């Protein structure tokens, strides 16, 4: 991608970016760990509605992926139970919004309208109209809105996209993506299990691979999906005219003891690329002939890299638009088409 964008900083100088985290659950703790490692940024405020969550701030994190902070220090931050109260204090330049999905649109728009840059967790929203509302609010406030599609920043996925698009390994013939875990059980009010609040498994878990497929191959012409009734499992074929055969499968129905696994296989004319988060080595590039190519795997994980990218944009740096609000919106459109395809038992045109 060669396009770049520049945003107007919300404060006169950016010697230090003041950050707030809204929602101190699994992802709030993930963002907390990442922000703590970024120079010239400081966490000054936390907004969390559940007093029990705040009382447990010093206790270990819950979640299915490693990296969330095990200890949150509330000593030097202002703690709020309401976003309006946090915004009224005018103490932050940027917010990580790590709330349950159904709360993303209203809270994001409110923060943008208050002149605050927003990194909102994925999925952007439950429907396209809300995504449009969020993107419009960012444009009219001239503030950064980034959606937390961490896989676009995940080192092995970044390198794989470069290899696919670089062309040296030939045409992509096929690509297959998988994501397996149990339904999240860490949230005190089980909002994940309520499709009206989470969008269900396809919008919550499967969306990671859908968004990556969108990022690498663009929007497909049609999708064809199969799922169980409540869509805790979904498998999709993304159809590209004259393009590669692309499939993705995900489920929330693994036994809890399984933990979490994400993986992919990409078959190119002159190489096979494999990744499996549970294997050692996790990432392999096997050329059809000759030695493996040298690989330059960026340090960090998708969360730390996406937050660093957001911080640079907030500081007014020119950054590559790796995930625009409009792209995140199109990913929602794509997942909703997959859900419809599975429900109606037919291919759905994008």
Ligand X SMILES: NC(=O)c1ccc[n+]([C@@H]2O[C@H](COP(=O)([O-])OP(=O)(O)OC[C@H]3O[C@@H](n4cnc5c(N)ncnc54)[C@H](O)[C@@H]3O)[C@@H](O)[C@H]2O)c1
Q: By CB under 6 A, name the binding residues for ligand X.
A: 22-28, 47-50, 53, 98-101, 103, 121-122, 148, 150, 186-187, 204
- CB-nearer residue toward ligand X: 52 or 75: 52
Which among 21, 125, 132 has a CA at the least distance from the CA of 79?
21
| Least distance from ligand X to the Cβ atom of residue 11, Å | 24
- CB-nearer residue toward ligand X: 49 or 182: 49
Which among 72, 108, 76, 106 has a CA at the least distance from the CA of 91?
76
| Least distance from ligand X to the Cβ atom of residue 89, Å | 15
3-state class percentages of the chain: helix first, strand second, coil last, to nearest 5: 35, 25, 40
State the Cα–Cα distance between residues 163 and 182, nearest whole angstrom: 32
Which among 153, 91, 99 has a CA at the least distance from the CA of 123?
99
State the Cα–Cα distance between residues 184 and 56, nearest whole angstrom: 19
280 contact partners, CB below 8 Å, separation of at least 6:
none
| Least distance from ligand X to the Cβ atom of residue 267, Å | 26
- CB-nearer residue toward ligand X: 72 or 342: 72
State the Cα–Cα distance between residues 280 and 248, nearest whole angstrom: 22
CA 128 to each of CA 98, 152, 179, 216, 300: distance values in angstroms, whole numbers, following the listed order: 19, 21, 24, 21, 32
Which among 90, 93, 89, 123 has a CA at the least distance from the CA of 105?
123
Upper half-sphere CA count for residue 297 (Cβ side, 13 Å): 13
State the Cα–Cα distance between residues 316 and 260, nearest whole angstrom: 36
- CB-nearer residue toward ligand X: 23 or 155: 23
DSSP letters spanning 299-346: SS-HHHHHHHHHHHHHTT--B--SS-HHHHHHHHHHHHHHHHHHHHTS
State the Cα–Cα distance between residues 185 and 142, nearest whole angstrom: 37
| Least distance from ligand X to the Cβ atom of residue 133, Å | 17
- CB-nearer residue toward ligand X: 89 or 349: 89
- CB-nearer residue toward ligand X: 309 or 348: 309
**Residue 235 near residue 249, CB atoms below 8 Å:** yes
| Least distance from ligand X to the Cβ atom of residue 167, Å | 30
| Least distance from ligand X to the Cβ atom of residue 255, Å | 19
| Least distance from ligand X to the Cβ atom of residue 120, Å | 8
- CB-nearer residue toward ligand X: 155 or 244: 155
| Least distance from ligand X to the Cβ atom of residue 277, Å | 12
Euclidean distance between the first and the last CA atom of the chain, given in angstroms as a whole number: 23
- CB-nearer residue toward ligand X: 150 or 169: 150
- Please give the residue whose beta carbon sits closest to ligand X in the complex: 25
| Least distance from ligand X to the Cβ atom of residue 190, Å | 9
């Amino acid at each position: 991608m060669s396009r770049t964008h520049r945003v107007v900083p919300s404060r006169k100088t950016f010697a230090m970016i003041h950050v707030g985290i809204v929602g101190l659950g699994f992802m709030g703790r993930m963002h907390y760990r990442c922000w703590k490692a970024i120079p010239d940024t400081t966490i000054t405020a936390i907004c969390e509605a559940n007093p029990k969550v705040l009382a447990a701030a010093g206790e270990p994190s819950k979640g299915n992926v490693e990296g969330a902070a095990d200890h949150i220090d509330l000593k030097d931050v202002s703690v709020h139970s309401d976003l309006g109260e946090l915004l009224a204090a005018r103490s932050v330049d940027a917010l990580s919004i790590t709330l349950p999905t159904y709360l993303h649109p209203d809270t994001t728009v409110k923060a943008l309208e208050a002149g605050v840059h927003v990194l909102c967790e994925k999925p952007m929203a439950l429907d396209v109209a809300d995504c449009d509302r969020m993107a419009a609010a960012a444009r009219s406030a001239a503030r950064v809105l980034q959606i937390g599609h961490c896989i676009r920043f995940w080192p092995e996925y970044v390198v794989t996209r470069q290899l696919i698009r670089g062309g040296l390994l030939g045409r992509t013939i096929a690509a297959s993506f998988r994501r397996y875990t149990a339904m999240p059980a860490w949230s005190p009010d089980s909002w994940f299990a309520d499709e009206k609040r989470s969008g269900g498994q396809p919008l919550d878990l499967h969306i990671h691979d859908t968004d990556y497929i969108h990022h690498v191959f663009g929007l497909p012409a049609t999708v064809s999906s199969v799922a169980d009734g409540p869509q805790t499992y979904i498998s999709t074929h993304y159809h590209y005219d004259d393009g590669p055969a692309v499939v993705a499968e995900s489920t929330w129905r693994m036994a809890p003891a399984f933990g979490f696994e994400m993986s992919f296989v990409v078959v190119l004319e002159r190489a096979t690329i494999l990744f499996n988060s549970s294997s050692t080595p996790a990432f392999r590039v096997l050329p059809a002939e000759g030695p493996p190519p040298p690989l330059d795997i960026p340090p960090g994980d998708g969360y730390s890299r996406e937050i660093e990218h957001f911080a640079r944009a907030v500081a007014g740096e020119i950054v590559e638009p790796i995930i625009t609000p409009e792209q995140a919106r199109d990913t929602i459109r794509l997942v909703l088409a997959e859900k419809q395809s599975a429900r109606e038992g037919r291919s759905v045109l994008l």
